[in-house]
Amino acid sequence: MINLVFKNRYLALGEGFYDKCKPTPVTQPELIIFNHALAQQLGVPAEGLDETVLAGIFSGNLIHEGCEPLAMAYAGHQFGGFNPQLGDGRAIYLGEVEVADGHSLDLQLKGSGPTRYSRNGDGRAALGPVLREYLLSEAMHKLGVPTTRALAAVTTGEDVAREKLSPGGVITRVASSFIRVGSFEYFARQGDQLSVKKLADYVIERNYPELTAAGNRYLALFEAVVIRQAGLIAKWMQLGFIHGVMNTDNMSVAGETIDYGPCAFMDFFQHDMVYSSIDRQGRYAYNNQPNIGVWNLSRLAEALLPLFADEPDQAVKLAEDILQRYADLYANEWLAGFRAKCGLSARAMPEAAIKLAEDDTALLQSLLDIMAQGRADFHLTFYYLSQLDSEPGDRDVQLLALFSDADTMSAWLLRWRQRLSAETQSDHERQFSMLSVNPVYIPRNHQIEAVIRAAEDHNDFSAFHALHALLQNPFSYQSGMDKYMLPPAAGEVVHQTFCGT
Ligand code: AMP
Ligand code: MG
């Protein structure tokens, strides 16, 4: 065993919340990667780990001492339609492990075999989606986005049947919480208000302990979830990230990005970009993510309503007041984030601040419009912009070359430089702070695809390890690694992503 000390407050919620079940052993587990830094936070010693033991534990073949595995029950709105019974169909919750400052993190295997909630699924994961989730979730963490983390990935030695036979894998995810909006919907739809309340108390205790003493703690919880979600989605937007399947069962109440299925980082910018093969109406398109955020939060409000006030009308009013703040919360986070990406601070006097915010919003929106028109690469646009001086110079050329219509972008640069003249920081300071929010590297779709092909088709994990190592430092230029910085060549473009279920 590896010295994980499990406790499991979720288990104490009682039978209706889960099904106790064990992972189904696999024939030949082999460790692909183990996240030593994260393991140390969980109290696992850095030295003396045996790979066979790690492969055993993180494939589900070995049950760690003190661990009482279970599958969680939840419901969810999928593409707008309600499904009353989802649940962990291919994931198994291992329990919580205490980390520093009294917080706990939850551990879960994904791909570890069928559960009571598997419906027609096999409970397994193909290796490709396992590698994808590992790379993406760890990259998001390094990019400063709240997210579930990846602790381990293993191959199973067994094939899974998808469009074709693919090698199987298991990923171990670590989260502040695996409670979703859909977890609340599950009980609310059954009219089981007692369980909704128990779950809310559990979430407050685990993730929002500062709200324990709040006057109306359930309303305070809802408000806190709204604030975190608005901030999270603004961060996605600032990185050109498209989650792809923002069903209510894939929205964490802890405000972390969860469920890396068909998600993708955009290459060239398009407002309504969609990658997911199953998102045919564009419900989860890039520019629709903020709207879906509030739609999902409205479903959470509905589930929590009886806890807000005894009088239904009053409960609705309280929920609406908070939901109405979402637009402003999001707009403020959006503006702060895109200002930072463009090197603009907001140090205006209060009366001038509103005008400045309006002008900056228009300036930043027009940059996105010009990027869309010119089919400019999202990441390189901001990375190259970060290197420009406040006076026009040689380096303008590499930025302008990203745009099919360089004149329009030149005109924007003129407006940007006029705006910069109101700033007090030096070029050097501004460039430094811009480069701390505009990454050089993100996990580009075609690179992930190359990683998956090498692993699935040739059992070769070198590309996976190279990309993973690079993404440990997404804001630092690393020499010899330009191919990871650049958008795909014509033949390499990935047009669609798949959830791999
Ligand atoms: P997702 O779209 O990955 O969030 O999954 C939606 C629901 O389908 C969840 O309840 C999953 O547990 C379940 N699911 C997805 N893939 C499988 C699978 N291969 N076997 C069993 N259940 C699955
Ligand atoms: Mg899910």
Model confidence pLDDT, tens digit, residues 67-90: 999 999 999 999 999 999 999 999
Give residue 500's pLDDT band: very low, low, confident or very high (50, 70, 90): confident
Enclosing H/E stretch for 18: strand 18-20
Q: Which residue puts its alpha carbon closest to atom 15 of ligand 1?
A: 501
Per-residue pLDDT averaged across 105-130, rounded? 97
| One-character DSSP codes across 407-444 | HHHHHHHHHHHHHHTT--S-HHHHHHHHHTTS-S----
Q: Which amino acid is at 465?
A: H
**Do residues 234 and 331 share a domain?**
yes
pLDDT tens-digit map of 224-248: 999 999 999 999 999 999 999 999 9
Residue 149 lies in a domain: yes
Q: Is 249 noted as a catalytic residue in this protein?
A: yes
In this model, does residue 301 exceed pLDDT 90? yes
Q: Which ligand is nearest to the CA of 244?
A: 1
Inform me whether the pLDDT recorded for 4 exceeds 80.
Answer: yes
Question: Looking at residue 353, what is its pLDDT?
Answer: 86
Q: With respect to residue 489, please indicate whether it lies within any of the assigned structural domains.
A: no
pLDDT number for residue 357? 86
Q: State whether 197 and 175 are in the same domain.
A: no
Within-domain flag for 80: yes
Predicted pLDDT at 77:
98
Q: Which range (183-197, 286-300, 338-352, 415-429) has the least confidence?
A: 338-352
* Predicted local distance difference test score (pLDDT) of residue 346: 82
pLDDT over 90 at 101, yes or no: no
* 498 is a domain residue: no
Give the count of beta carbons closer than 10 Å to the beta carbon of residue 145: 18
Based on the structure, what is the number of domains in the chain?
3
At residue 499, the pLDDT reads 79
Beta strands in 79-231 (DSSP E): 81-83, 91-98, 104-110, 125-126, 149-161, 165-175
- Write down the pLDDT at residue 354: 85
Which bin fits 431, alpha (ψ -120 to 50), beta or left (φ > 0)? Answer: alpha
Same domain (yes/no): 319, 175 = no
User: Measured in angstroms, how far is the CA atom of residue 249 from the centroid of ligand 1?
Assistant: 10
Q: pLDDT at position 310, please?
A: 96
**Structure token digits, residue 382:** 């901001």
| Whether residues 226 and 328 fall in one domain | yes
381 found inside a domain: yes
Distance CA 157, CA 492 (A): 30
Answer whether residue 501 shows pLDDT above 90: no
The answer to whether the beta carbons of residues 22 and 136 sit under 8 Å apart is: no
Protein residue whose Cα sits closest to atom 8 of ligand 1: 89
- Residue 169 is classified by DSSP as E
Rounded distance between C-alpha atoms, residue 403 and residue 405, angstroms: 5
Q: Is the CB of 245 under 6 A from ligand 1?
A: yes
- Is residue 445 domain-resident? no
pLDDT above 90 as % of the chain: 94
Query: Are both 145 and 218 inside the same structural domain?
Result: no
Rounded Cα distance, 228 and 253, in Å: 9
Extract the tokens encoding 257: 């990005």
Range list of β-strands (E), 144-232: 149-161, 165-175
Single out the residue in 400, 435, 470 at which a domain terminates.
Answer: 435
Q: Which two tokens stand for residue 132?
A: 């994808």
| Same domain for 365 and 218 | no
Judge whether 276 and 499 are in contact, CB under 8 Å.
Answer: yes
116 CB less than 6 Å from ligand 1?
no
Please give the pLDDT value at position 389.
97
Ligand 1 neighbour 78 (Cβ under 6 A): no
Average per-residue pLDDT for the chain: 96
Q: Does pLDDT of 268 surpass 90?
A: yes
Give the pLDDT band (50/70/90) at residue 207: very high
- The answer as to whether 168 is a domain residue is yes
- Whether residue 394 has pLDDT greater than 90: yes
- pLDDT of residue 350 exceeding 90, the answer is no
pLDDT exceeds 90 at position 455: yes
Same domain, 93 and 162: yes
> What is the rounded average pLDDT of the residues 128-142?
98
Q: Is any atom of ligand 1 closer than 6 Å to the C-beta of 343?
A: no
Minimal CA–CA distance to 340: which of 397, 382, 390, 403? 382
**Strand partners for 6:** 97
The closest of 99, 125, 96, 135 to 23, measured between CA atoms, is 125
C-alpha span between 117 and 120 (Å, rounded): 9
Ligand nearest to the CA of 72: 1
Structural domain for 81, as ranges: 6-179
* Pair 138, 190 in one domain: no
The pair phi, psi for residue 192, each rounded to 5°, is: -90, 80
DSSP string, 437-489: TS-S----HHHHHHHHHHHHHH---HHHHHHHHHTTSTTS--TT-HHHHSPPP
Q: What is the pLDDT, as a whole number, of residue 379? A: 98
> 323: Cβ below 6 Å to ligand 1?
no
pLDDT tens-place string over residues 150-198: 999 999 999 999 989 999 999 999 999 999 999 999 999 999 999 999 9
466-491 confidence digits (pLDDT tens): 999 999 999 999 999 999 999 999 89
Residue 107: pLDDT band (50, 70, 90) is very high
Domain boundary residue, one of 179, 202, 234:
179
Residue 129 has pLDDT above 80, yes or no: yes
Question: Phi first, then psi: what are they for 381, rounded to 5°?
Answer: -55, -50
Instruction: Give the CA angle between residues 300, 303, 306 to the nearest 5°.
Output: 130
Of 134, 152, 179, the position where a domain reaches its end is 179
Q: What are phi and psi of 335, to 5 degrees?
A: -65, -45
Instruction: Give first-to-last CA distance, the chain, whole Å.
Output: 31
Ligand 2 centre to CA of 253 (Å) is 13
Single out the catalytic residue among 249, 279, 377, 396.
Answer: 249
The H or E element that residue 7 is part of is: strand 6-7
323 and 349 in a single domain? The answer is no
Which residues are within 8 A (CB) of 466 and not within 5 positions of it... i.e. 6 or more apart?
Answer: none
59 lies in the same domain as 80 = yes
Q: 384 pLDDT band (50/70/90 cuts)?
A: very high
Helices (H) and strands (E) in the chain, counts: 16, 13
Co-location of 201 and 237 in the same domain: yes
Tell me how far CA of residue 4 lies from CA of 64, 67, 181, 449, 466, in angstroms: 8, 9, 29, 34, 29
For residue 349, pLDDT beyond 80: no
Residue 243 belongs to a domain: yes
479: which residues sit within 8 A by CB, 6+ positions away? none
Tell me, yes or no, whether 319 and 331 share the same domain: yes
| Residues 6 or more apart whose Cβ sits within 8 Å of residue 220 | 208, 211, 214
Ligand 2 center from residue 278 Cα (angstroms): 14
Tens-digit pLDDT profile for residues 49-62: 999 999 999 999 99
